[in-house]
Structure 1
């Protein structure tokens, strides 16, 4: 399952030439080597541009600092585009926004299943994502999704691998400004996966809706797109608290279960420069 985690390695002496830091006490009072390593930004099935500076003791993450790499972009983030266009006065249909929402959640699910080692399921969800973006109607999409959702929900192995990883209560999510599926999930990585499944299923049913989008409901794949900060910023703010104290083997699953989109931050940076 975790064969892709070679960026940290299990030889705690040297990783990519990085020096070993001082020794520090672990939770049992033992003196263990503390290794400082970066995760990202160029990992398979990892949010583009995300860098985590972590301190490892054994297999446990003790300290986590979030950074992002990449330049400001004048282009709106692809997954938020329908809602941003609606806020600019364009007529956007409910179906267009639902289609983008469904595809975004399927994209996140593909990444989540890939990180958990379920490559076949990741590929299947990505194929359905492509059908969504290609314009398949609601009936076809629900027919494709039904068996996949049932299979994911019935997997005992998936539940065992992801339950208890990165718990985030709704109360704490609100405190951090989270407004999307991670708030609705009110739980751990497994709960967030279930929230995506549910949202993808319901948005697939609305892909043919021609009614205009209600601009009072500008909630994109990761949360409200009309707030003071991009919705993914709140997800990034949540990461250190979810990762510190977690075992390294589960870290990538926790990150994948939030799946922040750093394109949102790049576009917000451009908007700030334009209107500053």
Structure 2
């Protein structure tokens, strides 16, 4: 490795085909379209293949309230009465938000816009009679899309753990959860004390579910093609707001 005009040159190393290629260091984030807010990844590339990936230390969010997407379950963990329907509404909106991000990265801008529109209607308090005709046709269309399946199947695959499967299976899991939540929108029963499972996993274990997603990212990215990196990140969609201490059950914020 040397310098030209005082600037460091790329190093060389063997790639998976035995060729000597430049190793390029590429940061992604913290502000990109269709990107988890605040996330910074540092990738080491050879050709179009990610050889190494690191997640930058995540700064503690400064917001003082509960993490928005987990708020109903965190309220329930504090002993407040929260209905199943209220939690289902937030769950459905959260998955539509993540779905819109993944579809945007995949180049499905029209479907992404429909997912975001449905998310906004949910958060605005629209009733089930209005929501079902908006959401179920979108879910059916995505399930039947062979081009979408061809694009993301096999990408970011892992067996077991919090991110079991590939990008396509995680997409299907979101669609399943969206349909299930639609069925529960009018349920006036109260959430049980345990388990408390938000959009990204259990919120009552002391460890935010997005931490497990961040921990899994380097392993999923290493060996993947650079063009697939953003699809993998979007299929996990970690919520960095969960990492603030005051967003955990029993946690306390600091002035």
Structure 2 length normalisation: TM-score? 0.91
Bigger shift: 248-257 or 264-273?
264-273
Please name the residue that 1:27 is paired with: 16
Q: Aligned partners of 1:20 and 1:104: how far apart in 2?
A: 43
CA distance in 2, matches of 1:149, 1:65: 34
Match of residue 105 from structure 1: 95
Residues 1:160 and 2:138 are matched in the alignment? no
Instruction: Go from structure 1 to structure 2 and tell me whether the alpha carbon gap of 1:251 and 1:134 turns closer, same or farther (over 3 Å shift).
Output: same
Q: Given that residues 163 and 188 in structure 1 are in contact (C-alpha distance below 8 angstroms), is that contact kept between their aligned partners in structure 2?
A: yes
The aligned counterpart of 1:56 is 45
Alignment deviations for residues 69-107 of structure 1 (CA, whole Å, 9 cap, x no partner): 454432211000000011111110111000000000000
Task: Give, in whole Å, the separation in 2 of the partners of 1:245 and 1:168.
Answer: 12
Given that 2:41 and 2:55 are in contact with CA atoms closer than 8 Å, whether structure 1 keeps it comes out as yes
Deviations, residues 123-169 of structure 1 (Å, cap 9, x unaligned): 00111111111112223222211211111111111111100111122
Q: Partner of 1:259 in structure 2?
A: 237
* Correspondence list, 1:64-103, <5 A: 64-67=53-56, 68-69=58-59, 71-103=61-93
Q: Cα gap change, 1:84/1:272 in structure 2, threshold over 3 Å: closer, same or farther?
A: closer
Residue 130 (str. 1) matches residue 120 (str. 2): yes
CA distance in structure 2 between the partners assigned to 1:268 and 1:58 by the alignment? 42
Cα distance between partner residues in 2 of 1:256 and 1:137: 29
**Alpha-carbon distance in 2 for matches of 1:139, 1:168:** 38
The equivalent of 1:146 in structure 2 is: 136
Distance 1:127 1:251 in 2: 26
Query: CA–CA distance in 2 between the matches of 1:69 and 1:151?
Result: 38
**Partners of 1:69 and 1:20 in 2: CA distance:** 30
The alignment's TM-score, normalised by the length of structure 1, stands at 0.85
- 1:100-249 to 2 correspondence within 5 Å? 100-170=90-160, 173=161, 178=162, 182=163, 186-249=164-227
Q: 1:60 to 1:94 in 2, by over 3 A?
A: same
> Gaps (5+ residues) in structure 2?
1-6
Q: For this pair of structures, how many residues does the alignment match?
A: 247
Q: Residues 151 and 269 (structure 1 numbering): CA distance in 2 closer, same or farther, change over 3 Å?
A: closer
**Cα displacement (A) at 1:217:** 2.8
* Counterparts of 1:233 and 1:130, CA distance in 2: 26
Q: CA RMSD in A?
A: 2.0
3-state secondary structure, aligned to 2:244: helix
